[in-house]
Amino acid sequence: MEGFEVTKGATNDISVLYLKGYLDAHTAPELENALQKLMDEQNYKIVVNFSELNYISSAGLGVFMGFIEDIRKNGGDIKLSSMKPKIFRVFDLLGFPTLYDILDDEEKAVDKFTKS
Amino acid sequence: MVNKLPKTQKKYQLKIPSQSDNLALIRELIAKVASQVGFDDEEANKIELAVDEACTNVIKHAYNHNSNQIIDVLVKTDTKKITVIVSDKGLGFNPDKVKTPDLNESIKAGKKGGLGICLMRTLMDKVYFQIKPGQKNQVTMIKYIN
């Protein structure tokens, strides 16, 4: 069965969420909970690593839309990294690259925080 | 299921409870049928996603997460195209009022939805709706093989 996992890591003061599997309307609440937990802990600098994500629907993209404004108001950001081409295509179709930083790999996404 | 169709035409139907944990099964069916007809992986992924979006709309909006209701997914194929018809008997909406959302505005408003129909229209060659709330709402999506 197609599942979904989100695990948490950190690099200095930057939280990293690793997504694995299939992100759709059924599994999006798990990501929502993980982001809400980071917000509750006042961790506003977040990198999301998509390297093991195989599928995303608009329900998954919607999670990032719902949180980004609050996170940016608190001086943070969500930077997205390591997407497979088919995942990037969905973000691209909906115009996300103009409003979100989408980086090739996690290191570049972390650097974007430390160098900005 | 095949009903007296020419050998090049096939028809599959899935009637499934309106639950989000069934989306994976629906996607699996669509991906397999699309690949059998001759769509490459990239095009099959697009069809899979468009159908996921249509079914997600039914689960969330037409049936308001009532899992006792049924989603009807009918897939028809021939040598030139795949046609997917998703039907429900739930709440309807006016498709003419669904505009492409301004992502920037949606984000500022903390809105996290409204992208599904826009994606369906982008991913498929033809998308049209027939809405009769409570009786039968239907979205028909067609993609041609290049």
* pLDDT given for residue B101 in this prediction: 77
Segments forming the whole domain that contains residue B15: 10-144
DSSP structure string for B2-47: --S--TT-EEEEEEEES-GGGHHHHHHHHHHHHHHHT--HHHHHHH
pLDDT category at B146 given cuts 50, 70, 90 is: confident
Provide Rg for chain B, Cα atoms. 15
Rounded to the nearest angstrom, the minimum Cα separation between A26 and chain B is: 5
Q: What CATH number does the domain containing A100 carry?
A: 3.30.750.24
Cβ-Cβ contacts under 8 Å, B113 against chain A? 58-59, 62
- From the list A62, A68, A69, the residue facing B115 with the nearest CB is A62
User: Tens digit of pLDDT for each residue in B34-70?
Assistant: 999 999 999 999 999 999 999 999 999 999 999 999 9
* pLDDT given for residue B103 in this prediction: 82
Query: How many domains does chain A divide into?
Result: 1
Element (H, E) at B112: none
Burial environment of residue B8 by CB neighbours within 10 A (0 to 12, 13 to 18, 19 or more): exposed
Angle, alpha carbons A4-B127-B84 (nearest 5°): 60
Q: Which two tokens stand for residue B110?
A: 């903390």
Top pLDDT among B93 and B79 is at B79
Residue B30 lies in a domain: yes
Rounded to the nearest angstrom, the minimum Cα separation between B2 and chain A is: 27
- CA dihedral (B116, B48, B125, B69) positive or negative: negative
Residue B14 identity (one-letter amino acid): L
Element (H, E) at B144: strand B136-144
The answer to whether B105 faces chain A, any CB pair under 8 Å, is no
Q: Which two tokens stand for residue B64?
A: 């308001």
The answer to whether B111 faces chain A, any CB pair under 8 Å, is yes
User: Which of B48, B40, B25, B26 minimizes the C-alpha distance to B124?
Assistant: B48
Across the range A6-11, mean pLDDT stands at 92
Residue B3 lies in a domain: no
State ipTM.
0.92
The answer to whether B50 faces chain A, any CB pair under 8 Å, is no
User: Tens digit of pLDDT for each residue in B81-115?
Assistant: 999 999 999 988 887 777 777 888 888 877 777 78
Query: How many domains does chain B divide into?
Result: 1
Partner-chain contact A70 B110, CB within 8 Å: yes
d(CA B120, CA B140): 10
Residue B4 lies in a domain: no
> Is A5's pLDDT higher than 60?
yes
Q: Provide the percentage of residues in chain B whose pLDDT is more than 90.
A: 73
Q: Which two tokens stand for residue A77?
A: 């950001």
* Closest chain A CA to residue B18: A26
* pLDDT given for residue A12 in this prediction: 83
Q: Which two tokens stand for residue A27?
A: 């599994």
| Eight-state DSSP code of residue B127 | E
Residue B76 lies in a domain: yes
Partner-chain contact B49 A94, CB within 8 Å: no
Residue B5 lies in a domain: no
Residue of B23, B30, B102 to mutate when probing chain A, most A C-beta within 10 A: B23
d(CA A79, CA B61): 30
> Is B1's pLDDT higher than 60?
no
Segments forming the whole domain that contains residue A102: 4-115
The answer to whether B92 faces chain A, any CB pair under 8 Å, is no
* pLDDT given for residue A1 in this prediction: 57
Cβ-Cβ contacts under 8 Å, B119 against chain A? 58, 90, 93-94
Cβ-Cβ contacts under 8 Å, B23 against chain A? 24-26, 57
Q: What CATH number does the domain containing B119 carry?
A: 3.30.565.10
User: Tens digit of pLDDT for each residue in A75-104?
Assistant: 999 999 999 999 999 999 999 999 999 999
- CA dihedral (B138, B11, B55, B21) positive or negative: positive
